[in-house]
Amino acid sequence: MKFGTKAIHAGIYPEQVTGAVMTPIFQTSTYAQESPGKHKGYEYARTQNPTRNVLQDNLAALENGNFGFCFASGLAAIDTVIKLLKPNDEVIAANDLYGGTYRIFTKVFEKFGIKFHFVPMNDPKSIEEKINANTKLIWVETPTNPLLNIIDIEEMGKIAKKHKVLFAVDNTFATPYCHTPLDLGADIVMHSVTKYLAGHSDVIMGALIVNSEELADQIRFLQNACGGVPAPQDCFLVLRGIKTLHLRMKAHNENGIAIANFLVNHPKIARVYHPSLPTHPNHDIAKKQMKIFGGMLSFELKEDSVENAFAMMKRLKLFITAESLGGVESLCGHPATMTHASIPKAEREKNGLRDSLVRLSVGVEDVEDLIEDLAQALA
């Protein structure tokens, strides 16, 4: 089954009682039982909900996985992954990653005795020397947030398998339309469903997808025991959004490439980060593992200051200054003061995140209008 067909049909069937084509919103907290313990597969809505179950099956199918789990946010999904570990375990994570991920790793889980190493991952083989007996997880984003670094999933998967270490990939930027990390050797795929999967800036949600039944049992236990589950109406909205994922991603990608090429030739731009560009240091890896390059890009202004970035962003009319990404509308953000403010300035600069860096989530508007907006703001 091709991707567009899966997005619309996988795991989704007409509702049995009425034949409703769209999965209904099962807005209930509990379910009637014929007698204690004798029920129709549903006991309590934290544990199971029919709307959520359909979405979980759909997400698993899109990632070519066996088991899907939805959570109240992307961070709730990350929280669940780290709860698979125990004190004295160690995690190797990319040094260029979402600020909220860095925050939960360092400010929450370090207090419980889990150690995190943040390292460049452009060369997967360099990671091997960082692995020791306590290493239990490798955590990867690709493309990374906000510098759009590309990490070779297949090579990283081989290293994780060799050392019997769990390998998790945050696939939020790429989406399963670009690549499916489970097929390339990952054990866990994480999504901030809030972003491209939902696609309309109206839902907060996270997801985990796995192939291993053992891992699925552990995640299912934590999902129920800790209770960070999404509401049924949110699940309904995501199911609706996913039906156009393949169409939206094509448009995001086309617009992203056009804007990257416009910016790379602009006299006021110092550097553009987008994996479609031949100058991107990981361009060849991106071509190898990604179906498309996506609609996320970042750029640095030649005049490197927060004030200069703010002034340019304030002049934008179509690009809305806002947190988040992946919606149909174009957004711009200033990572140093917004999404990555929780990372200390010295750490940000060491990893290449300059104060003038602006991140764009390129929407699906007419690209000529978006380029015109950027041109007038830069002028």
Q: Is 98 a catalytic residue?
A: yes
The two beta strands, 115-119 and 135-141, are unpaired
User: Which residues, in sequence order, are bridge partners of residue 38?
Assistant: 35
The whole-angstrom separation of Cα 184 and Cα 201 is 29
**Contacts for 287 with CB less than 8 Å, ≥ 6 apart:** none
Q: Is 170 a catalytic residue?
A: yes
How many other CB atoms are there within 10 angstroms of residue 281's CB atom? 12
- Which listed residue (98, 102, 177, 273) is catalytic? 98
Residue 342, phi then psi, degrees to nearest 5: -75, -10
- Which listed residue (6, 52, 136, 195) is catalytic? 195
- Which listed residue (170, 234, 355, 373) is catalytic? 170
Place of tokens 């025991």: 225
Spacing of C-alpha 192 from chain mean position: 5
**DSSP state letters, 164-179:** T-EEEEE-TTTHHHH-
Residue 77, phi then psi, degrees to nearest 5: -70, -45
Largest CA distance in the chain: 74
**Contacts for 101 with CB less than 8 Å, ≥ 6 apart:** 75, 78, 93, 139, 141, 170
Give Cα separations from 31 to 16, 46, 234, 326 (angstroms): 17, 11, 20, 35
The two beta strands, 206-210 and 269-273, are unpaired
3-class secondary structure, 149: coil
Which residue, 182, 175, 174, 155, is CA-closest to 66?
182
The two beta strands, 166-170 and 135-141, are parallel
The whole-angstrom separation of Cα 183 and Cα 160 is 14
Q: Is 46 a catalytic residue?
A: yes
3-class secondary structure, 230: coil
Radius of gyration of the chain (CA): 21
Q: Which residues carry out catalysis?
A: 46, 98, 170, 195
